[in-house]
């Protein structure tokens, strides 16, 4: 089953205590697509880049089977983000955000994208997310992400958008910020009242939890001795999650739980190197082995 | 199998956004003993109280089957702690600590206590923990807790003590403080190098993890919409953990994992009311039902 993903395609400069990269491949749609490509070959990306976007990145995305018919290329510079992480690696300090061509981004879905079963609205302005929803026909599952900026600056628009999504994915700080509830259970229940059928709350090194009105599931993170660069972990999680779901086309509670664990596994690989570099050499066998380990470390 | 527990027996005044209690029953040995008493009837407490310690608390501990032959009663006032929690409930603000008779505490094990298989060294000065170890004969399992104060003020003595314990239990902040490692996996491995066969790291609302040189297990916390008072959660966890282990007398990896989940369940009940009040009405059936829920929310 195909997935349409709308989000950013970017060039990132990132510094952590363990190294740095400059103008490396980044962006929410990029991380999502590459992670999902390990599970399904039908990923249709909607995004925008400038004329400085290196051909090698286009080639890499194509080599992963990502459909780039929806990737606009316009004159100007590609979205650029630079940030730094300290020793705790939980919070990025943004050094600069240059929206560049992304500022004028108005997602237009190619005709062949409009008939899709799965949609991922990566972290962009909720008004644009809504525009995308208006362009797709009947879907099986719409998953939506966001960030603190939209919660503070576009809260009404965000609440409007998530009324129309099936699964809302955000991190624990964002869930607390959006609902004003410090207790995560209460925050989750409030979010379900806003409309989504399911909420997934990412907790970084503490794993992820998911709530519906009748179910609850908690997955730990995969234990790692070393994290090189946490950039893109959330989008990689979403890519593994929705990639697995779309490939199995099974939305049962049991399968959604497996999808969350696959998302966790993909994120755990991605943070072991800078940019998407770990995913460049990753194999399906490595993913399956780590999935099996997740079972082993949670069983009692 | 019998458990000897050495720790504080206290009177606590606690205020949270959800209420307050004054001079309520508290102390690490108390929380531990009551939680363990749901699993085994052979709990031998070593502690000290003043002549102000209410008879009703003695009666309550006796009603739970706790052996109080090792509870010294001396003239003076009982150890008193008062604290306050804000809305996030993760960190207590200590308003006052009055050691009182606890200042002169020199644990003396009654003759009948010296032959025991299981020992819990609750959070007290590590030199006193070591004194206790010298008084017991051959044991099957020694479990030890600590706190930030001993890590900062008695680090050498603490490292000396944990050389002689089988399982070291501490929270994530303490593990980082003790080892200087921000990565919890690395912190755990360093702690294993100090001597214990196993380390259990409590992460509050994020559950608990345990490491040996060859195994890793992660348990979530039981999801709660409301927490009244987090005081004693760690000691209650330890009581459920060691109470279950001693009652089954099975130290296999599988059984240790079950014990961690029983500890998690006991702690989750305890924080639902002030002091040990929730445990006063708790039933074995409620414990088993929540244990079954823990299985349901972690399976995939």
Residue A6: predicted pLDDT: 98
Query: Tens digit of pLDDT for each residue in A167-225?
Result: 999 999 999 999 999 999 999 999 999 999 999 999 999 999 999 999 999 999 999 99
CA distance A122 to B211: 36
Beta-bridge mates of residue B3: B43, B118
Would you list which residues of chain B are within 8 Å, Cβ to Cβ, of chain A? 87-89, 182-186, 189, 203, 205-207, 209, 216-220, 223-227, 254, 257-258, 260-261, 295, 297-300
Q: What is the pTM of this model?
A: 0.95
DSSP B69-134: EEEEE-SSPPPEEEEEE-TT-SSEEEEEEE-GGGGG------GGGSS-SEEEE-SS-HHHHHHHHH
Per-residue confidence (pLDDT) for residue A206, from 0 to 100: 96
How large is the ipTM?
0.93
Contact A218 B217 (CB under 8 A): no
**Mean pLDDT score across all residues of chain A:** 96
Q: How far is CA A267 from the centre of its chain?
A: 10
Angle between helices B55-63 and B28-36 (to 10 degrees): 30
Q: CA angle, A159 as apex, A154 and A162 as ends, to 5°?
A: 120
A-chain CB neighbours of B87 within 8 Å are 182
Q: What percent of chain A has pLDDT over 90?
A: 96
| Residues of B with Cβ-Cβ distance to A17 under 8 angstroms | none
Q: Render pLDDT for A12-22 as a digit per residue (tens, 0 to 9).
A: 999 999 999 99
Q: In the prediction, which pLDDT does A92 show?
A: 86
Instruction: Give the span between the Cα atoms of B16 and B270, in whole angstroms.
Output: 15
Chain B residue closest in CA terms to A293: B216
E strand spans, A86-178: 92-98, 118-121, 141-145, 167-171
Q: Which residues contact B288 (CB under 8 A, 6 or more apart)?
A: none
- Lowest average pLDDT, out of B3-7, B87-91, B96-100, B123-127, goes to B87-91
Chain B CB contacts of A218 under 8 Å are 207, 220, 223, 297-298
Chain A residue nearest residue B219, CA to CA:
A298
Stretch A232-247: mean pLDDT:
98
CA distance B57 to B30: 10
Least confident residue range of A262-266, B90-94, B296-300: B90-94
CA distance B74 to chain A (A): 43
For residue A86, what pLDDT is reported? 87
Q: How far apart are CA A259 and CA A239, in angstroms?
A: 10
Asked if A268 and A297 touch (Cβ cutoff 8 Å), the reply is: no
């Amino acid at each position: 089953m195909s997935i349409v993903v709308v989000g950013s395609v970017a060039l990132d400069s990132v510094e952590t205590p363990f190294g740095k990269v400059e103008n490396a491949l980044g962006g929410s749609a990029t991380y999502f697509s590459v992670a999902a490509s390990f599970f399904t070959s039908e990923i249709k990306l909607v995004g925008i880049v400038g004329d400085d976007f290196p051909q090698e990145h286009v080639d890499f995305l194509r080599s992963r089977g990502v459909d780039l018919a929806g990737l606009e290329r316009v004159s100007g510079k590609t979205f650029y983000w630079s940030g730094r992480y300290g020793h705790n690696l939980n919070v990025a300090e943004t050094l600069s955000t240059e929206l560049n061509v992304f500022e004028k981004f108005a997602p237009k879905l190619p005709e062949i994208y409009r008939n899709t079963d799965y949609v991922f609205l990566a972290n962009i302005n909720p008004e644009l997310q809504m525009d995308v929803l208006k362009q797709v026909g009947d879907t099986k599952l719409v998953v939506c992400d966001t960030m603190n900026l939209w919660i503070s600056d576009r809260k009404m628009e965000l609440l409007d958008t998530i009324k129309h999504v099936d699964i809302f994915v955000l991190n624990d700080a964002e869930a607390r910020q959006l609902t004003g509830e410090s207790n995560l259970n209460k925050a989750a229940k409030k979010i379900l009242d806003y409309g989504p059928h399911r909420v997934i709350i990412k907790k970084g090194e503490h794993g992820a939890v998911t709530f519906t009105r009748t179910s609850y599931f908690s997955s730990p993170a995969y234990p790692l001795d070393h994290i090189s660069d946490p950039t893109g972990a959330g989008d990689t999680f979403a890519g593994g999650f929705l990639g697995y779901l779309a490939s199995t086309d099974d939305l049962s509670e049991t399968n959604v739980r497996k999808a969350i664990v696959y998302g966790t596994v993909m994120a755990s690989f991605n943070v072991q190197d800078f940019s998407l570099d770990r995913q460049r050499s990753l194999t399906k066998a490595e993913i399956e082995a780590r999935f099996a380990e997740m079972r082993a470390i949670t069983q009692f």
